[in-house]
Chains A and B, each alone.
Chain A
Amino acid sequence: DTGVSQDPRHKITKRGQNVTFRCDPISEHNRLYWYRQTLGQGPEFLTYFQNEAQLEKSRLLSDRFSAERPKGSFSTLEIQRTEQGDSAMYLCATQGQGADQPQHFGDGTRLSIL
């Protein structure tokens, strides 16, 4: 169990640029979640995959955000035309089969918009 891996750990970019984050799950976990966490808040749900299927998206996920999990393994989260308000920590979590399984979190990608 190598844990959930996220890359990069930090991303600084200018407003209006596109950014992409990657999440590599624990290998046997078929469920994958993206969350956004701002300062002083708990993580907020963005989207959820079961294998390669994206089953739910939060209304927080504007049309500038897109997530994929093409082969049911790693996932990417892309933000187009970044805005100041996108500055946050983006967390990936994965979960094994069974409703009683906890989610295991990566260390996140901290995005700073200049």
Chain B
Amino acid sequence: AQSVTQPDIHITVSEGASLELRCNYSYGATPYLFWYVQSPGQGLQLLLKYFSGDTLVQGIKGFEAEFKRSQSSFNLRKPSVHWSDAAEYFCAVAAVFNKFYFGSGTKLNVKP
């Protein structure tokens, strides 16, 4: 069965520090993987996606993610966090009919 695990519920980083949010997935075939960001009371905004090819994908707002098949991981990174990055981040894997399975999210706090 398809599933996504985001092991960190909350993460706090200082502004300007680097960030890595973890995502592990379970899927029988080559996955389609996504990271979304959600601000309070809002819908989800796509940050980046992986389908095939280069395992390091670039997204919007300076985010990147690396697909590691051997570890079933798709971790999200940013070299320098801005206060406006404070939000909740969701990793998702697409399955049959492109039905998405989401992780439970990681809430990012940014200290000034």
Contacts and interface: CB of A to CB of B under 8 A. Distances in A.
Contacts of B44: 43, 91, 93, 105
A104 interface: yes
Given A42-B103, A42-B104, A43-B102, A48 B43 contact: no
B91 to A, nearest CB: 8
B41 A110 contact: yes
Interface string B92-112: 101001111111110000000
B102 A31 contact: no
Contacts of B101: 45
B97 A103 contact: no
Interface footprint category on A: 20 to 34
Interface of B: 4, 9, 32, 34, 36, 41-46, 49, 51, 90, 92, 94, 97-105
Nearest to A107: B43
A103 B42 CA distance: 15
The residue in B97, B98, B101 that gathers the most chain A C-beta atoms within 10 A of its C-beta is B98
A15 B99 CA distance: 30
Contact of A56 (B34, B45, B99): B99
A40 B104 contact: yes
A108 B104 contact: no
